[in-house]
Structure 1
Amino acid sequence: MFFTEEAMAAEYDYPTHRLSPDNTATLLVDHQTGLIVGVQDHDQNELSRNALALARAGKVFGVPVVASSSAQTGPNGPLLPELVADLPEGTPIIHRTGEVDAFDDPRFDDAVRAADRPNLVIAGVITDVCLMFASLSARARGYNVHAVIDASGTTNKLARETSIVRLAAAGVVVNSTVAVLSELLRDWKTPGGPGTAEIFGRLAMPFYGAVSASHAAAGRGER
């Protein structure tokens, strides 16, 4: 990579900007059927599961979610039906008709402002357009931005790598689904523990069933 930990540290103060349910909103941009089939930088099913995990985390933690699609009546297709079904009740879904950058649609911008959270977790398809431009615009508006790379996808690995460099250079925290959920959780003994364990086991980390058993033991005070 072309950026250093020192450069990133100048932009991101973990103790100050640490994600929590009361300071975070999630933006899911253009997880549409016609776009996901073009993803080649990593597994399409894994991408979809991670996007679902972020949506479901909105319910578990009470994190506001804003979703958006782009020209969904054309070749991009609709948002993933299973994603729409997993969104928290009342989630605004902004169907853009031409704006490439979701923030260029005033309805999307207004919905994000209404969430009133300083930290934004953003995922989008494709990475170098939908995720990229939304993240850059959010940074320009003063938000702390976490770009979730494994809940996003693009047409090739080079596009993903160049996107990571550009995002990091703009002060965006490049992140993963599991890291975001773990940061929101902080402690398995909190009320969000069982829901997070289910998300890990069913979506973000399918091998994670054993950890669910560990969580249950922690809840009983066992060590």
Structure 2
Amino acid sequence: MNAKYKKLNKDDAALLLVDHQSGLISLVQDFSPSDFKNNVIALADIGKFFQLPTILTTSFDEGPNGPLVPEILERFPDAPFIHRPGQINAWDNEDFVKAVKATGRRQLIIAGVVTDVCVAFPTLSALEEGYDVFVVTDASGTFNLTTQQSAWNRMSQAGAQLVNWFAVACELQRDWRNDMEGLATLLSNHLPNYRNLMTSYSRLQQARNK
């Protein structure tokens, strides 16, 4: 039996950024600090570029988990921001679920810290309620690779699609002609090698036009 290819659709997707908090991020060991921050901000930029409804949430941010990283808040100053007083699973927070449902979207793109709890729990809950869930693996982090792999397996076996931020951008874009310069700039800002590619292409085009 062939599995149906469920493509991300910018008109039916919402972005959920869960617990990217200054304290919790210090627990992330499956990516380097610089790579992880770049991946998270890249995903946020994708949400902004495609104008996806975006929901922010934190857990116990007045305690050791710390505040939301400022770069995310800067990009989404008007997004619903759910400060959970204690619920570990964001889906257990009524305001969070209301915000998700208010988007009217059925595809949920989710990333957070830590992968095995703050991402896995709401992912499993949303799947149970019939949402299509896309977990952005490289914008979610946890303690080690063993924990990472077990969390990924748990979510994928339940029906979540595991993707990286680059794949999210390209699948939402669908066709370079939609806005090649805009997407290429976004990718170049987060992938130095892609910037080299675009610089080479730009020089080639300039030479051809002489």
TM-score in same-fold range (> 0.5): yes
What is residue 199 of structure 1 aligned with on the other side? 186
Q: 1:2-36 deviations in whole A, cap 9, x for unaligned?
A: xxxx7xx64xx21xx21121011110000000011
TM-score (norm: length of structure 1): 0.86
C-alpha distance in 1 between matches for 2:136 and 2:49: 18
What is residue 3 of structure 1 aligned with on the other side? none
1:214 to 1:65, Cα distance in 2 relative to 1, 3 A: farther
What is residue 110 of structure 2 aligned with on the other side? 122
Could you tell me which of 8, 11, 18 is aligned with 2:7?
Answer: 18
Could you tell me which of 36, 45, 57 is aligned with 2:25?
Answer: 36
**Greater Rg by CA:** 2
What is residue 62 of structure 2 aligned with on the other side? 73
- Bigger mean CA deviation after superposition, 147-156 or 180-189: 180-189
What is residue 96 of structure 1 aligned with on the other side? 84
Once the two structures are TM-superposed, the CA of residue 216 in structure 1 deviates from its matched residue by 6.1
8 Å Cα contact 1:64/1:115 also seen in 2? yes
Once the two structures are TM-superposed, the CA of residue 44 in structure 1 deviates from its matched residue by 2.1
What is residue 86 of structure 1 aligned with on the other side? 75
- Aligned-residue sequence identity (percent) comes to 41
Once the two structures are TM-superposed, the CA of residue 68 in structure 1 deviates from its matched residue by 0.5
Which AA in structure 1 matches 2:27? G
Could you tell me which of 147, 155, 158 is aligned with 2:146?
Answer: 158
Once the two structures are TM-superposed, the CA of residue 172 in structure 1 deviates from its matched residue by 0.4
Report SS of the residue matched to 2:15: strand
Report SS of the residue matched to 1:39: coil
- Bigger mean CA deviation after superposition, 17-26 or 126-135: 17-26
| Unaligned residue ranges in structure 1 (runs of 5+) | 1-5
Question: Does residue 127 of structure 2 align to residue 139 of structure 1?
Answer: yes
Matched pairs, number: 207
Once the two structures are TM-superposed, the CA of residue 196 in structure 1 deviates from its matched residue by 2.1
Which AA in structure 1 matches 2:22? T
1:98 to 1:47, Cα distance in 2 relative to 1, 3 A: same
8 Å Cα contact 1:50/1:150 also seen in 2? yes
Once the two structures are TM-superposed, the CA of residue 198 in structure 1 deviates from its matched residue by 2.2
C-alpha distance in 1 between matches for 2:131 and 2:200: 36
What is residue 198 of structure 2 aligned with on the other side? 212
Question: Does residue 178 of structure 2 align to residue 178 of structure 1?
Answer: no
C-alpha distance in 2 between matches for 1:86 and 1:215: 29
C-alpha distance in 2 between matches for 1:119 and 1:45: 29
Report SS of the residue matched to 1:122: strand
8 Å Cα contact 1:197/1:215 also seen in 2? no
C-alpha distance in 2 between matches for 1:128 and 1:94: 20
C-alpha distance in 2 between matches for 1:55 and 1:216: 26
Q: 1:120-152 deviations in whole A, cap 9, x for unaligned?
A: 110010000001001101101111011111000
Q: 1:165-223 deviations in whole A, cap 9, x for unaligned?
A: 101110000111111111011122213x33322221122x2321134347769x99x9x
8 Å Cα contact 1:123/1:152 also seen in 2? yes
Once the two structures are TM-superposed, the CA of residue 38 in structure 1 deviates from its matched residue by 1.2
What is residue 44 of structure 2 aligned with on the other side? 55
